[in-house]
Amino acid sequence: MQELSELKKSLNVEVEQLRSEFQELKTTLQQQQEDVAANLRNLGLQDMSEVAKETKTPEAEENKAEEIPAPSEENSEGIQH
């Protein structure tokens, strides 16, 4: 019976530690969400031509994907799993 009591105490301590860590993570996440929202608002104020220069077009990404050949059955025969 003593062992069960000690285990219960130990588990309660761990639960409290996890709750505390979770609360810290929640607070950090909320702060990061606020920072991202503020940064997005600031980006909206920038000249759109600057933003367009920095971002890649989806067509360029599609062309890159087409250049990469898919593995064929011949190439995969030597691979052991």
Confidence of residue 44 (pLDDT cuts 50, 70, 90): confident
Q: What is the pLDDT of residue 55?
A: 63
Q: What is the pLDDT of residue 14?
A: 98
Tokens of 13: 């301590």
Residue 63 has pLDDT above 80, yes or no: no
Instruction: Name the more confident of 63 and 26.
Output: 26
Mean pLDDT of the chain: 76
Backbone angles phi, psi at 68, to 5 degrees: -85, 115
Q: What is the pLDDT of residue 1?
A: 85
- Spatial contact of 8 and 16, defined as CB atoms under 8 Å apart: no
Instruction: Name the more confident of 49 and 40.
Output: 40
